[in-house]
Amino acid sequence: MGRVDPVVSDDRPVTDPARKADELCALLASYLEPEQVEFVHRAYRFGAEAHRDQRRLSGEPYITHPLAVAKILAEMRMDHQSVTAAILHDVIEDTPTAKEQVAREFGEEVAELVDGVSKLTQIDFKSKAEAQAENFRKMVLAMSKDIRVILIKLADRLHNMRTIWVMAPPKRRRIARETLEIYAPIAQRLGINTMRVELEDLGFAALYPMRYRVLKEKLRRQRGARGETLEQVRKMVEARMAEANLNGIVIGREKHLWSIYQKMRTKNQDFQDIFDVYGLRVIVDSVDACYRVLGLLHGLYKPKPGRIKDYIAIPKANGYQSLHTSLIGPRRIRIEAQVRTHEMDKMADSGIAAHWMYKENEQVSSTAQARAREWIKGLMEMQRSTVNPLEFIESVKVDLQPDEVYVFTPKGDIMKLPRGATVIDFAYAVHSDVGDACIAAMVDHRLTPLRTALNNGQTVEVITAPGARPNPAWLDFVVTARARAAIRQSLKRLKGEAAVSLGRRLLEQSLSALGRSLDTLPEDQLQAVLGSLSLPSLEALLEEIGLGQRMPWLVAQRLTGVSQELDTAHPARHGQRLVIRGTEGAVVTFARCCHPIPGDPIVGFASAGRGVVVHHRDCANVREYRNHPDKWIDVQWETQVRGEFPVVLAVDVVNRRGVLAELAATISDTESNIESVTLDEKEGMITTIRFTISVHDRVHLARVMRRLRVLSSVIRITRRRA
């Protein structure tokens, strides 16, 4: 083909693919070598042939979409391989073309990019949400190898949003919501502000069309008077900068509609109450000039306290740098002002794309690359520790929230965390081992609860202890995806270890009833049973037994080849009793219906996924298990049980002032903790108060009940269970 002629013929329809391809190549010729432009045009011919019989919902030839995606990347001055992959990004997914064929024609690198963007179409998913989550996971894996995958995907999504109106309303809303929740925040995280703003406004228009139109009209009406005021301010700033010999550009800017709408929602304000719709952007030559301009602005107009932010000294997670201030302008109009250098402005608009757009400024591009790779590294850690794809994508959505707080380590290092992050989030941001071993924390040298939300400028010191374990309750208040994934992974690992230990005890007791033990079983016999059960190891078998997914006596019979009739009179007796120590962890749970405590007669039941559930023998729910004797497990308390166990007491009292405080003080004196209290009106002056308290055993409970019974206000006290 040779060098592409940048002159495009005008006698072809504007939707003609060949014309669009020539326009694309003319754009590429402005910054790429001729052989690279020819490489892209060859990809167009290949893609046009592959999509020959396909059309979009609009009726256009399908190839017009990949060409439009490629043009978006060309406008970002991306390399020829990215643009080629954009043209071919649907050939693997939507045509019979194989990845290997793309690799033969255009190289392995282009083929990997195309494959990274392609959806998983060969797998049947249970729901659209699961398909979306799994495809996103696949894309993250591809991103970890080549960051250009996400840039192609963002360009693809941008063109789809530009042409979304041909779709049915339900699909339109689904895609718009996905764009606002995932793709626009990703563009923001990568610092590609121009693309992020367009994605947000297009998503807003598609998801809430009426709200979009109303807000757009209100903004149009307001533009006149406030626009004039902004122009006055802009000229005043320009004049003052000239007096101070400061070279720069002063630009008036307008908040985009989605940003205004979000502010109205989060602050519960009407449109007329939003005063920072308009703002100024001042672009200067140096960092020193940025701070001088900030002082000049504050000399001209009064700044609003608490609204000055220095993102130059402490850049945002996506590398964004700028000085922000909020000014009270003429007619008391609030004006948001941003001050930055030319390099910072390029970075703010292009983000990671600056690596390809502005190669002459290696500092800008390498900073963007480093921050993007750090973020992707965090995504990969989440991906490895999260089995469920839906859980993974929800974690990513949380991680993409842009608001941040900056806190200090005891050594003075700055750490960035999302708004609302707690001490536990901080601990896991330092290291997962620090988070797992965290038992307390000092915030600004004061002991602070672990659920405390952190604020800007605080110094946080984590206190750890050897052998400490993460608490499942932490999942209720942590906000970072990294902390949530690490806690779940640790709990899963601990549960797995506890399940293996319990499974070994259960299997040993069943083998003991048959006169055998694990140590005496022939290795070939054990391996044969593991093979027949499709399990990789003895630990996997023990874990399934401990989690209640396999019955220990049935496994024991398979391992020994000995069959034994079930004792229906005493169905749980298949060997020695399982001794409950109270330290088994999550694989032994105590039923909430009857709250068994040490000293109570108990019986255990194998429950899939939960391990052994222990009930009081007189619990009403035990009747449900009468017809399932194979799930009974004979259990007994160890002589010295450690831990505290909840129990419910119903106390009938005379309803008078101070009675609840008297009861609570008495319970506290017996070294018992009150977990919850509920009150029921009954017979006028008589009230029933239900306490859930923690006790060590039946002896401790008896002591509590005796102390309560002697109180003059107490009429009757009973222990409640189902």
Residues that are catalytic: 93-94
Residue 653: partners with Cβ closer than 8 Å, 6 or more residues away: 659, 663, 686, 687, 688, 689, 713, 714, 715
27's tokens:
């754009």
651's tokens:
């106390």
Q: Contact at 8 Å (CB) between 427 and 213?
A: no
Q: Are strands 278-284 and 334-341 parallel, antiparallel or unpaired?
A: parallel
Q: Find, among 635, 660, 658, 649, the residue nearest to 701 by Cα.
A: 649
Residue 344: partners with Cβ closer than 8 Å, 6 or more residues away: 312, 320, 321, 322
Q: What's the CA gap between 286 and 344, in Å, rounded? A: 10
3-state secondary structure of 416: strand
Strands of the sheet containing 686-695, edge to edge, are 673-682, 686-695, 645-654, 714-720
Sign of the dihedral through C-alpha 326, 329, 335, 340: negative
Q: For 451, which DSSP code? A: T
Q: Are strands 438-443 and 460-464 parallel, antiparallel or unpaired?
A: antiparallel
Q: Contact at 8 Å (CB) between 248 and 241?
A: yes
Q: What is the DSSP string of 611-664?
A: EEEEEETT-GGGGGGTT-GGGEE-EEE-SS--S-EEEEEEEEEE--TTHHHHHH
CA-to-CA dists, residue 473 to 164, 324, 547, 693, angstroms: 43, 38, 21, 19
Residue 217: partners with Cβ closer than 8 Å, 6 or more residues away: none
Q: What's the CA gap between 18 and 370, in Å, rounded? A: 39
